[in-house]
Amino acid sequence: MMQPRGIPIHRIPPEVRRELIAYLGQFITENKKERIRQVLPWRTRYVALVLEDIYQPQNASATLRTAEILGVQDIYIVENWNAYRLNPKVVMGASKWVNLYRFRHPQANNTRRCAEYLRARGYRLVATSPYNPTWTSLDDIPLDRPVAFWFGSELEGLSDEALALADGILRIPMYGFTESYNISVSVGITLFTIVQRLHQRDDLPWRLTPEEQEEVTLTWYLRILERGDALARHFLKERGLWPLPSAPAESPAPPEYDDEGQKALEAFSS
């Protein structure tokens, strides 16, 4: 469901997708392609990050940067009250390498939409909160199926609805007087611990499938190249494949895909 710069790559036939990757690869340095090959095996969708009504650009950017460094590919943004904005001085280019999906319909319950969407795709929903925990250790979180970790706003945490929709609540251990961690610290502790656990589990399908690796590679190529979308359209037109056929409707309704590689500076300056 990745659609960088208007190219719906999930609707490109697999054999054509591989040809397009080879075609675009002519315009990318060998060093960059080698770095992508090194990073891809550590990418995962087995863990997803969900941020509900985060409004401080510094925290929004720090969480995204942490997720990218740890190999978490998909970030879901719920915007009921607060717009999610990035600070490019903090995000340090990380937005180019992850996929950001936004639930921000003005007349919808976006928290419920996101929960239903992820649950339909097999995720266990784990809310984070200091109160009424199901788990008090990250080592106790079951990893028998994909996990989506939910984090709430800086002042109030997750909404009551997000907590009610979750399959369980995680309380990250704390040993001092202060009530909670900064959200970027909470995200860092959580994702680092869970990703380290996954790296030790050869029995879990936490790595991207070969098809997903191709889709991510193509997405990154399109973002790296200044005219990647134009090159891709030319390639597809030459083969009589542009415009691509429409996709069937998804249920639950999909979130809005946001190519953050292009949006970060605009969001910061607006």
In the chain, where the domains are located: 1-43+209-239, 44-206+249-269
The angle at the Cα of 220, spanning 95 to 86, to the nearest 5 degrees, equals 10
pLDDT at 185: 95
Helix (H) or strand (E) holding 23: helix 14-25
Nearest CA to 259 out of 209, 234, 224, 232 is that of 224
| pTM score of the predicted model | 0.90
How remote is the C-alpha of 136 from its chain's centroid?
25
CATH architecture type of domain 44-206+249-269:
3-Layer(aba) Sandwich (3.40)
Q: Helices (DSSP H) in 40-179: which residue ranges?
A: 57-69, 88-91, 110-120, 160-165
Question: Has residue 167 got a pLDDT over 90?
Answer: yes
Average pLDDT value for residue range 228-257: 85
At 125 the pLDDT is: 98
Name the amino acid, one letter, at 200: Q
pLDDT tens-digit map of 78-96: 999 877 776 665 565 788 8
How confident is the model over 202-211, as a mean pLDDT? 97
Question: Each residue of 136-155: pLDDT tens digit?
Answer: 999 999 999 999 999 998 78
pLDDT of residue 102 exceeding 60, the answer is yes
Sheet containing 168-170: order of strands = 168-170, 124-128, 147-151, 47-52, 74-78, 99-103, 256-258
pLDDT tier for residue 163 given thresholds of 50, 70 and 90: very high
Nearest residue to 146 (alpha-carbon basis) of 212, 47, 73: 47
Give phi and psi for 193, each to the nearest 5. Answer: -65, -45
Q: Does residue 265 have a pLDDT over 50?
A: no
Nearest alpha carbon to residue 201 among 146, 131, 268? 146
Tokens of 170: 């995680």
**Which of residues 267 and 14 earns the better pLDDT score?**
14
Q: What dihedral angle (degrees, nearest 10) is formed by the CA atoms of 108, 110, 114, 119?
A: -60
pLDDT at 262: 38
